[in-house]
Amino acid sequence: MAKVTKTKAKLMRVEEAFWEQPPGHFQAFSKLLVHPTTAATKYFDFRISSYQPRGYAEVHVHEVAENIYYILQGKGIVELDGVKHLVGPHTVIHIPPGVRHGIFNTGLQDLVFIVVASPPHDMPEVKQTGGREA
């Protein structure tokens, strides 16, 4: 019988992770909370993102990954296949594979939201700088 390897659970406070700037993001930062580079997972990219006023992620597409955004604070616009939608606190956005999407902070305060993506290998690689400029 094959031996089952138990993976290690993770518990952390959000302040333990550094803000990083993913490629194609401008005045927009994320903390990779549960990700293959930070935890024993193959299936999830779970992060918190904060976009300063005027911050945005360029319109792009994932061929395989699904994304879910949950807006915690701030207001902005999410573009889904060319259609713009106003978003704010408690808005949930599900983005299936193949949907061109971008998110823009058009509000007066930081736009803060949770991102869940699966599988993580289809997400842009984030160069982890430990909070320092790249």
**Domain assignments of the chain as residue spans, ordered by start:** 19-122
Give me the pLDDT at residue 125, please.
81
* Token couple for 2: 């094959």
| pTM exceeds cut of 0.75 | yes
Chain center to CA of 58: 13
pLDDT for the residue 134: 56
Q: Which fold has domain 19-122?
A: Jelly Rolls (2.60.120)
Sign of CA dihedral 126, 80, 48, 41: negative
Task: Give the pLDDT of the chain (134 residues) as one tens digit per residue.
Answer: 677 778 899 999 999 999 999 999 999 999 999 999 999 999 999 999 999 999 999 999 999 999 999 999 999 999 999 999 999 999 999 999 999 999 999 999 999 999 999 999 988 788 888 777 65
Cβ of 60: how many Cβ atoms within 10 Å? 11
Cα–Cα dist 123/63, whole Å? 9
Q: Rounded to whole angstroms, what are the CA distances from 120 to 55, 106, 123? A: 23, 28, 5
Can the peptide bond before residue 119 be classed as cis, meaning omega within 30 degrees of 0?
yes
